[in-house]
A and B are shown apart, each in its own frame.
Chain A
Amino acid sequence: MNTPKISRRSLITQGGTLAAAGVVLAACGSEPSGLSRVGLSPSTTALPEVHVSDVVLLRTAQSVENLAVAALSDPAMSKGNAATKAAIAVFLEGHRANAAAIAPLIAARGGEEFGKPNTRMMKNYVSGALALIAESDQAEADVIAFAHAIEGVVAATYQAFVAWTNEPALRRAMMTLAVKPSEYAVVLAQMVSPGTKGVSPAVDETGGPVVSALPTKYGSLGSFDATIGTMTEAGARTVVTMETPSLNSLEY
Chain B
Amino acid sequence: MDTQAPDTAATEPRSRRALFASLLAAGAAASAPLLAGRASAAGDSAPTTTAPPDRSAADVAVINTLIEREASMVATYKAAVGSVSGDDLAALLTIHGHHIAYVESLSAYLGTEAAKPSGTRLALTVSGGYSSIATQMAAHEAATAEAHIAALGSIQGINAAALVASIITVVSRHRAALLVSSGADAAAL
CB-CB under 8 A for A3 and B168, given A162-B161, A166-B52, A190-B181 = no
From A31-39, A58-66, A174-182, A226-234, the one touching the partner chain is A174-182
Among the interface residues A180, A196, A219, which one has the most CB atoms of the partner chain B within 10 A?
Answer: A196
A24 to B94, CA, bound (A): 73
A81 to B130, CA, bound (A): 28
Whether the Cβ atoms of B152 and A175 lie closer than 8 Å is yes
Nearest A residue to B49 via CB reads: A166
A28 to B12, CA, bound (A): 33
Chain A residues within CB distance 8 Å of chain B: 1, 3, 5, 7, 9, 12-13, 16-17, 19-21, 23-24, 26-28, 83, 86-87, 90-91, 155-156, 158-159, 162-163, 166, 168-169, 171-172, 175-176, 178-180, 182-187, 190, 194-201, 213-214, 216-219, 221
Whether the Cβ atoms of B14 and A9 lie closer than 8 Å is yes
Whether the Cβ atoms of B162 and A187 lie closer than 8 Å is no
A107 to B174, CA, bound (A): 33
Whether the Cβ atoms of A86 and B170 lie closer than 8 Å is no
Nearest B residue to A194 via CB reads: B181
Whether the Cβ atoms of B90 and A16 lie closer than 8 Å is no
A90 to B182, CA, bound (A): 19
Q: How many residues on chain B are close to A (CB under 8 Å)? A: 66
Residues in A whose Cβ lies below 8 Å from that of B102:
217
A91 to B51, CA, bound (A): 35
Nearest A residue to B162 via CB reads: A163
Residues in B whose Cβ lies below 8 Å from that of A172:
149-150, 152-153
CB-CB under 8 A for A12 and B91, given A187-B176, A190-B181 = no
Residues in B whose Cβ lies below 8 Å from that of A86:
185-187
Residues in A whose Cβ lies below 8 Å from that of B172:
155, 178-179, 182-183
Residue in contact with A87 in the complex, picked from B98, B167, B185, CB distance below 8 Å: B185
Whether the Cβ atoms of A90 and B186 lie closer than 8 Å is yes
- Distance to closest chain A CB from B70 (angstroms): 12
Among the interface residues A21, A169, A195, which one has the most CB atoms of the partner chain B within 10 A?
Answer: A195
CB-CB under 8 A for A187 and B12, given A23-B27, A175-B149 = no
